[in-house]
């Protein structure tokens, strides 16, 4: 199952979720109406009197039904509005503490390094990282509406008990939820099910009111309150059934995706064994655990097997290690009861060290078969992880700290856009001084010096590492940053591909992430509905990646034949500015899955028509994929351009 098939499966489950919710609400309304009839004593009458009384009380029954529907609807809508803030809001609700940007704590540093490496490998913005400090159990979750506003939270128990390989397996599991679209399904599930659970809260309030009231007419209030509490239990039952029906298979898929990502089962399997072997297990102490149980790495509540939102732990382990049986837990529990596992100590004992690896030259080209590109979308593998680890390890520590720092991040992003031409760079600094004053100008100049020897392959990953810190800044400051970015770009009257990619990702993965629920759109458009936008996109790719006009025209034709072979379109006679793509994105992001698959392959065909894809072309290709919500892992670089494209 590839990325697009997994996305379609999520959409199918979303429709099933809506159906299950409607059935659950109908059942609750029916139960409330029956409770009202019992309260009115209608069931005590014979058949003729029953129907007459039922008809006489039809207004009360109708009002009761409408009130229940209104309560559930308003509660669900209110909760959905609360969740529009994205994944970080969910993490904070459970007491999550943001991982600090400094690297003084080895546990925090290890967690951040793992998350950043996985983010680079999967080509998504680095999510916000949280630790549930009060939770000793081993658990984690990913939350958010889209990859741009995702947050990953792990418990203190996971940080302390898991070694690096195990932590990597858990994080890869959570990233699979991000890539597969499960986060969006899960956060909708939180909002929808909240309405079902609200009746029990109202019932408890009525019981509390009746306890303090002495009026005789309030004698029926405790009965009605008790009925609502019972009905709230019915809602809880339905909520757990829905979560079990929607989430269980997604957990198996996430385990499989994590193994595909890391190409080793030991880390994830060992993490699951620790969940079953340590005393704390995976159960959380927060009173909000019920709301997020379906998005956790392990069962955080302790459901019975058939109501659990997760497959049985033994089945998950056996899927990774077929020879494992339940009896194997006994010696693990006995050992860990005496000496609880210490992840950092295990890392030291194994001699694990994070080393630096030399990157290929900046003018290296890409090794890729165009037809294989769509299969790589949202499906990073072992080689992608190795390249990500190489990129992350070679990132200068001072720049990584600046990217994570609230104080330095703006200067760093602006410095990434400074020209290598000395005269132009001085004009850009003067421009910044006029807009922001000397303090920021001096900070940018310092970052420009630090970036002077940065490998070209590290520029966009560094920018995307900076996006989480940028999202914490006030919206007016971000708007001002975007305006300054645009001013720096046009200072020389030119716009290269890197500048466009950075500015575009800044808008989509930072600005739009401030209101993720609003900007996410389901894809329904067909390729034939976007002819002009598709023409401009392929023309930009062809013209920016080929040495002469004739080569660009042939590359465009090859890409278009792959895209829409039966539709004739004229190749633009003039050079198409990359700015023309701004008008194309609103159409292209609404393409359906089939259209996006073909488009990504067509872009690769156009870019690789001259038997090479440069780093700038690869960055544009990956930026387009990011805008299409189809994250593409980093492509493999080769130093020998004559064998850069595989046949």
**What is the side-by-side strand order in the sheet with 151-155?**
97-98, 128-132, 151-155, 140-143
Of 116, 117, 166, 174, which one is the catalytic site residue?
A: 174
Tokens (6 digits) for 620: 């544009």
Question: Taking Cα atoms as reference points, which of 450, 457, 448 lies closest to residue 362?
Answer: 457
β-bridge partners, 525: 591
The CB-based long-range contact list for 521-526 (8 Å cut-off, 24+ gap) reads 521/589, 521/590, 522/11, 522/590, 523/589, 523/590, 523/591, 523/592, 523/593, 523/595, 523/596, 524/590, 524/592, 525/587, 525/590, 525/591, 525/592, 525/595, 526/591, 526/592, 526/595
Which residues have a Cβ under 8 Å from the Cβ of 89 and sit 6 or more positions away?
Answer: 82, 83
Handedness of CA 609, 613, 619, 625 (dihedral sign): positive
Tokens (6 digits) for 520: 């996410």
Tokens (6 digits) for 584: 């194309």
Residue 326 DSSP class: G
Question: Taking Cα atoms as reference points, which of 545, 528, 499 lies closest to residue 594?
Answer: 528
Buried b (16+ CB within 10 A) or exposed e, 627-643: bbbbbbbbbbbbeebee
Q: Mark whether 174 is an active-site residue.
A: yes
Q: Count of CB atoms within 10 A of residue 522's CB?
A: 10
* 170 Cα distance to chain centroid: 15
How far is it, in rounded angstroms, from Cα 602 to Cα 561?
8
Active site positions, annotated:
174
């Amino acid at each position: 199952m590839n990325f697009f098939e997994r996305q379609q499966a999520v959409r199918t489950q979303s429709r099933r979720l809506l159906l299950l919710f409607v059935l659950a609400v109908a059942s609750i309304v029916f139960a409330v109406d029956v409770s009202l009839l019992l309260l009115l004593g209608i069931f005590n009458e014979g058949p003729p009197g029953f129907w007459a009384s039922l008809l006489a009380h039809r207004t009360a029954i109708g009002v009761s039904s409408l009130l229940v529907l209104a309560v559930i609807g308003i509660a669900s809508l209110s909760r959905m509005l609360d969740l529009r803030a994205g994944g970080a809001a969910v993490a904070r609700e459970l007491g999550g503490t943001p991982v600090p940007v400094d690297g003084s704590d080895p546990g925090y540093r290890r967690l951040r390094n793992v998350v950043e490496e996985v983010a680079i490998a999967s080509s998504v913005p680095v999510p916000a990282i949280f630790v549930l400090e009060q939770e000793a159990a081993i658990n984690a979750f990913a939350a958010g509406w889209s990859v741009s506003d995702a947050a990953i939270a792990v418990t203190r128990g996971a940080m302390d008990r898991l070694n690096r390989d195990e932590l990597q397996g858990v994080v890869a599991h959570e990233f699979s939820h991000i890539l597969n679209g499960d986060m969006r399904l899960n956060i909708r599930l939180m909002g929808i099910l909240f309405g079902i659970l609200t009746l029990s809260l109202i019932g408890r309030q009525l019981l509390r009111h009746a306890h303090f009231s002495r009026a005789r007419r309030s004698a029926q209030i405790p009965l009605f309150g008790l009925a609502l509490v019972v009905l709230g239990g019915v809602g809880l039952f339905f909520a757990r059934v829905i979560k079990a029906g929607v989430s269980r298979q997604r957990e198996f898929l996430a385990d499989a995706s994590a193994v595909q990502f890391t190409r080793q089962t030991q880390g994830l399997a060992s993490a699951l064994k620790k969940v079953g072997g340590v005393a704390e297990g995976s159960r959380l102490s927060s009173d909000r655990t019920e709301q997020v149980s379906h998005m956790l790495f392990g069962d955080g509540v302790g459901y019975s097997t058939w109501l659990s939102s997760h497959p049985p732990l033994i089945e998950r382990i056996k899927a990774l290690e077929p020879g494992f049986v339940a009896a194997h837990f006994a010696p693990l529990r006995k050992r860990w009861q005496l000496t609880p596992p210490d992840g950092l100590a295990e890392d030291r004992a194994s001699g694990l060290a994070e080393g630096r690896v030399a990157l290929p030259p900046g003018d290296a080209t890409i090794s890729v078969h165009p037809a294989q590109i769509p299969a790589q979308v949202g499906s990073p593998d072992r080689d992608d992880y190795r390249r990500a680890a190489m990129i992350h390890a070679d990132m200068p520590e001072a720049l990584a700290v600046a990217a994570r720092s609230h104080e330095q991040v703006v200067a760093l992003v602006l410095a990434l856009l400074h020209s290598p031409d000395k005269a132009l760079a001085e004009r850009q600094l003067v421009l910044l001084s006029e807009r922001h004053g000397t303090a920021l100008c001096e900070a940018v100049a310092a970052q420009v010096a630090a970036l002077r020897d940065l490998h070209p392959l590290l520029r966009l990953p560094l920018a995307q590492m900076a996006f989480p810190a940028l999202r914490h800044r006030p919206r007016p400051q971000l708007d001002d940053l975007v305006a300054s970015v645009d001013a720096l770009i046009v200072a020389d009257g030119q716009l290269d591909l890197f500048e466009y990619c950075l500015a575009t990702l800044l808008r989509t993965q930072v600005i739009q992430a401030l209101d993720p629920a609003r900007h996410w759109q389901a894809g329904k458009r067909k390729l034939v509905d976007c002819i002009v936008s598709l023409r401009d996109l392929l023309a930009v790719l062809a013209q920016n990646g080929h040495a002469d006009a004739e080569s660009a025209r042939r590359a465009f034709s090859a890409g278009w034949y792959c895209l829409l072979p039966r539709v004739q379109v004229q190749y633009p006679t003039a050079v198409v500015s990359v700015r023309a793509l701004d008008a194309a994105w609103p159409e292209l992001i609404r393409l359906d899955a089939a259209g996006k698959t073909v488009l990504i392959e067509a872009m690769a065909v156009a870019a690789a028509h001259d038997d090479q894809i440069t780093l700038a072309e690869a960055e544009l290709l990956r930026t387009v994929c990011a805008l299409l919500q189809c994250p593409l892992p980093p492509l493999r670089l080769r130093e020998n351009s004559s064998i850069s494209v595989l046949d």
